[in-house]
Each structure stands twice: as C-alpha cells, then as structure tokens.
Amino acid sequence: MKNHRQTFQQDNKNRGRLLITCPDQPGIVAAISQFLSHHEANIIESSQYSTNPEGGVFFIRIEFECPDLESKKNVMREEFDTIARKFSMDWKLFFVQELKRAAIFVSKELHCLRELLLEWESGDLMADIPLVISNHPDAKDFVESFGIPFVHVPANKNNRQEAEQQQLKLLEEHDIDVIILARYMQILTSGFVEAYAEKIINIHHSFLPAFVGAKPYDRAFDRGVKIIGATSHYVTNDLDEGPIIEQDVKRVNHRDQVEDLKKNGKIIERSVLVRAVKWHIDDRIIVHENKTIVF
C-alpha cells in the first residue's frame, strides 16, 4: 500500500475536483471554466445534470489538472468564493493528493471488510484507513495483518450511548472523514448520524426498498423472489431510507435456501459497498433531497 499511496499522491499533486450544486441559470459553466482557465487548469473530466433546464437545480463535477496546484490552493478557494456567491452555489473544492480518512465499522460478518482491505492493499481504494472499529473481536487478527489498528468497542443495545462516546472520540482523534459500515449490526443514534451527515456509508443486504430492516434474506426466501440484491446508501435517521448510492442483484431460484441466499448475497454486498465507497472517495457523489447524483 505504501508505494501505491506515494505514487498516487505524486501523480495527482496537481489534480483538483470541484463539486457544485446551485439554482440553474445560463452562464454557470462559462464562469467556472473561465475561472479554471485563468488559473491555467485543464479540465480533465466534467459531468453535469439539471433536474429541470427551466428553473431547476444544477449540479456539476469537474476534475482538473492545474500546474503548481499546491501553491494556488488558498488563492483558488478565495477567488472561487466570489463566483459561488454570485450563483448561490453550494460547493466543495477537493485536492486529490489529500486522501480521505476512512474508518470501517464491522461486526461478525467479515466479507465486506475483507474486500475493502484487499482493495485498499492493492492500491485500488485510495484512502487512508487509520482504524477499524468492531463490537466483536473476530476481525482483530485479519485487520492487524494489514498494519491497521483494530479497536474493540463492545457496543450493544444497552450501552449505545457510552459506546458511541468512545467511537466518536476515536473518530475525532483520527480525523475521520468517512465511516464505512461494513455489515456493522448496530443501530446508530441520531446524534451520531447527524455528526457525520452524508459521511456514513452503509450496505444493506436487500434490494431496497424491498425488505427494509432485519433479516432480509429470510424474508426474501419466504416471499419466493427470483432475484436478490444489495444496496449501499448514506445513513440517515430513517432506517434504510437514506439516499441510495448503488445497488446490484443476483438471480436465485427455488433450490436456494436461506443459507444459499446469504452466500450469494455476500458476493453482491461486498462489490456494491466497494463501488459506493470508491465513488465517495473519488468525490463522484452529490446528495440532493434524499437521492444521489453519481457522476
């Protein structure tokens, strides 16, 4: 991982990303691209979307390459603020070299954790992972074999508040940007969720909105569905109702018992979660009114 990280940061030292949401009107793209052109930035990738060309909401993601970006960071932020005010923009400017810091929460099912760490190790999931937190000790050895600290916080229904205090302290200490719930089987309190709004990514083991809540595979089996699914979404205070980032499905048949659905489901869960996390880390997602725009 260390070499991958270094190479990536070197390769991306002049790479920036702009994510913008604002009321639609003519001239937005012109203003942004002039700003970038003025700083000698070359637009590498640009995607935009309007809910409605006549008076809707406008979204854009621009990835650019800008010589000497390091030295221009502050100036660019300041100058762009003027444009942003003019167009009432909600905006974020990311410098790709500054890696996101992710904490993974896990319980006893380790397939999603494994996939995340293997992708991380091979350099395909480019973030820093300062710690893994679990309410069970099972994953300890596996996590530590990657050189990542593992913290056992024995959270359960009865000690939710105290456990979250400890977790929040850890998250702050490690300056965490994004929390990945890799089949973490505890419900978070509303205070916790609000502290990390649009920054907690969950994987739900069903094709939402089918089978919200507990034991989705058992219920899928009982209903006799012919396709099962998994859904990655941002966590909000409505259980399994947050903005959907990604979904995928797999065909099953009458021979598949609940155990088979679970095994097949694991394969979808891990790939759906990893895709969602990568999009988040690549600043590809804008949340708008309980939906996601994924550029």
Do residues 72 and 4 make contact, with C-beta atoms less than 8 angstroms apart? no
Which of the ranges 116-124, 126-134, 178-186, 192-200 carries the binding residues for a second copy, by CB under 8 A? 116-124
Q: Does residue 25 belong to the site contacting a second copy (CB under 8 A)? A: yes
**Residue 45 class from Cβ within 10 Å (0-12 exposed, 13-18 middle, 19+ buried)?**
exposed
- Which of 9, 12, 48, 159 binds a second copy (CB under 8 A)? It is 48
CB of 133 to a second copy, least distance (A): 22
User: CB-side exposure of 88: number of CA atoms within 13 Å?
Assistant: 6
Backbone angles phi, psi at 51, to 5 degrees: -65, -30
- Which of 18, 19, 20, 28 binds a second copy (CB under 8 A)? It is 28
Site string for a second copy, 122-151 (x = CB under 8 A): x-x--------------------x------
- Which of 7, 11, 29, 81 binds a second copy (CB under 8 A)? It is 29
Q: Which residues bind a second copy (CB under 8 A)?
A: 24-30, 32-34, 36-37, 40-50, 53, 65, 111, 114, 118, 122, 124, 145, 207-211, 223-227, 229, 243-249, 253-255, 263, 267, 271, 290-294
Active site residues: 240
